Amino acid sequence: MNRRDFLNSARAAAALGALTLVRAGTAAPLDSWHTAFHEALPGKPWLTGYRTMAREQLQAKATWHGKAPGLRGTLYRNGPAGHEVGGFRYRHWFDGDGMVQRFAVSEDGVAHLGRFVRTHKRVAESGAGRALYPTFGSRVPNANPVTKADVVNTANISTLIHNGELYALWEAGSPHRLDPATLETLSVHSYSPQTQGLPFSAHPRVEADGTLWNFGYVSAAKRLVLWHIDAAGTLVKAAALPIDPITMIHDFVVTRRHLVFLIPPLHFEPGASSATFLQAHRWHPEHPTRVLVVDKNDFSRTTWLELPAQWVFHFGNAWEDKDGFIRFDGARAPDPSIMFGRFRDIMRGQDNGAGAPARSFNYVLHPATGYATEEPLMAAHEAGEFPTIDPRVSGRQYRHVALLTTQPGQETEHGHFDTVMLLDVTSGHSVRYTYPAHEIAEEHLIVPGDGGRFWLVGTTLAYREEKTRLNVFDGKRLADGPVAIATLPYPLPLGLHGKWQGVG
């Protein structure tokens, strides 16, 4: 099969395969999860972060306290916000329709704009007044057929800023192009006619010169799609590698010479009981995590290594030295149980914390000799997730990652992250700031400043006050707390990932 034929078959498999696993049968009553969630909400106010956003658009000027001299730009964040439609509540946090948030920081303070991405799914279901399509973790009664992956694209995971364009990203379909100022949805983006509709993951890696690398998985075809896009947004090359067994690959890392993927033993094994795409996966802890190393210049040149069974949603960064050793960090969990437990249960108000927490690990690979090892950067009782880096060192030697964590030995009322950490991956030393009680911390970004200064910028949900805050830290004085805080007059749904766009 030639390259064009394969890409066409992979696109068809993506459209008709993994996401069309809904089978005939009797579903739970439409309002059972909706009722359970809203009955639990008064006694568990932190569930505010999982309420559905009833309005298509939010806009307000934030109340600004403090000073962040020289910080100018825009934070774009994305996450699931439409958790209910027509009385039906989704059964998984990852299923909600995406809503992009824009925090514009200027001399006048912070202006917020939030707007749903107008995906095919969002528009069709809003018009019909009911859920029409199967999702990652929800079985929808009387679902419409799925003719292609972008029919069910929720555009709800992250954002990408590249070549002056803003995109909302999902995991199994195309980027949605948005207006950076108004957040209006402009188009479903394609990098070429031959690659139209192929999966484009929510965690592309952009090097300092603007070169973009990405991937996507096609479960039904057992293929991993690879993307190389130049700084001008032009597709340089795309390819598809056979991966069998295949799994959900959420993130990867890039070095000067290689792309690196960890492929955990959560195998895609659809069967008669696979009511959803999530349920079509089986965990095999007796199998290793396979490590795939791909030559950036020639996608056909690959090396396979092995690590113990594990699950990693997110990596910080990677680099390789002159001797060919690849070094990177990741938020490593022993298994993917949080995806099957807590991220489902919380949608019906049963936030019992079920699921193994992740913590930061260092990895070292040497593809030429087959060497692969890992070691923790955090104590066994600590948790750490959502690693981010200074974008100027993407794919190059680095020292720090920003993480979310919790105070060791201290339980929070809400059971979510409450602490932001700056971790030195070379020494394991960390500096932290813990937010006040009743605030849930979301992903924090490292934002470069002038003269060696850098900032940490991230949001928190003050759920008892029903407000969302944008917090700004002097990166070199994190433990001193925010130097500036912008408070919105409303709460936003808890989101996932974002990007910062500086001025100039």
**pLDDT score recorded for residue 117:** 98
pLDDT category, 31, cuts 50, 70, 90? confident
Could you give the residue ranges of the DSSP H alpha helices within 328-432? 337-340, 342-345
For the residues 106-117, what does the mean pLDDT come to? 95
Q: Which residues contact 221 (CB under 8 A, 6 or more apart)?
A: 9, 10, 13, 14, 17, 240
Q: What is the DSSP code (8-state) at residue 14?
A: H
Could you give the CA distance from residue 456 to residue 436 in angstroms, rounded to a whole number? 17
Judged by DSSP in three states, 226 sits in: strand
Q: Is the per-residue pLDDT at 22 higher than 80?
A: no
Is pLDDT at 91 greater than 90 in this prediction?
yes
Q: DSSP alpha helices (H): ranges in 433-495?
A: none
pLDDT at 440: 97
Rounded Cα distance between 290 and 299, Å, is 17
Token pair listed for 206: 């952009």
Distance CA 119, CA 23 (A): 24
pLDDT number for residue 452 = 84
Q: How far apart are the first and last CA of the chain?
A: 47
Please give the share of the chain, as a percent, with pLDDT higher than 90: 86
Average pLDDT, stretch 18-35? 55
What residue spans define the domains of the chain? 3-58+75-100+114-391
Q: What is the pLDDT of residue 7?
A: 53
Rg (CA), the chain: 21
Under 8 Å between Cβ of 263 and 285: no
Residue 4 in this model has a pLDDT that exceeds 70: no
> What percentage of the chain's residues is helix, strand, coil (to nearest 5)?
15, 40, 45
Mean pLDDT within 316-340: 97
pTM score: 0.94
Q: Which letter does DSSP use for residue 280 in this model?
A: G
DSSP letters spanning 62-121:
PEEEE--TT--EEEEEEEEEE-EETTEE-SSGGGSEEEEEEEEEETTEEEEEEEE---HH
288 contacts: CB under 8 Å, gap ≥ 6? 265, 306, 307, 308, 309
Q: Which helix (H) or strand (E) holds 229?
A: strand 223-229
Residues 104-109: what's their mean pLDDT? 92
Q: What is the pLDDT of residue 5?
A: 47
pLDDT (mean) for 132-156: 94
* pLDDT exceeds 60 at position 14: no
CA distance 280 to 493: 28
What is the edge-to-edge ordering of all strands in the sheet holding 454-462? Answer: 63-66, 484-487, 467-474, 454-462, 439-448
Is the predicted pLDDT of residue 61 greater than 50, yes or no?
Answer: yes
pLDDT, position 496: 98
Please, where are the H alpha helices in 161-294? Answer: none
Give the other-Cβ count within 10 Å of 285's Cβ: 13
What percent of the chain clears pLDDT 70, i.e. is strictly above it? 93
Pairs from 476-484 (Cβ < 8 Å, separation ≥ 24): 478/420, 478/422, 478/431, 478/432, 478/433, 479/431, 479/432, 479/433, 480/433, 481/433, 482/66, 482/433, 483/66, 483/67, 483/68, 484/64, 484/65, 484/66, 484/67, 484/68, 484/71
Which pLDDT band, with edges at 50, 70 and 90, does 497 fall under? very high
- Indicate if the alpha-carbon torsion angle 266, 271, 272, 274 is positive or negative: positive
Instruction: Select from 59, 61, 42 the least CA-distant residue to 51.
Output: 42
pLDDT of res. 410: 77
Higher pLDDT, 23 or 225: 225
Residue 167 has pLDDT above 80, yes or no: yes
What is the average per-residue pLDDT within 413-440? Answer: 95
Average pLDDT, the chain: 92
Question: Is 271 or 87 the better-scoring residue by pLDDT?
Answer: 87
Residue 458 scores a pLDDT above 50: yes
Mean pLDDT computed over 22-36:
61
Q: Which of 145-149, 181-185, 240-244, 433-437 is the least confident region?
A: 145-149
pLDDT at 351 (0 to 100): 80
Q: Which residue has the higher pLDDT, 501 or 354?
A: 501
pLDDT at residue 271, as a whole number: 84
∠ CA 217-98-434, nearest 5°, is 95
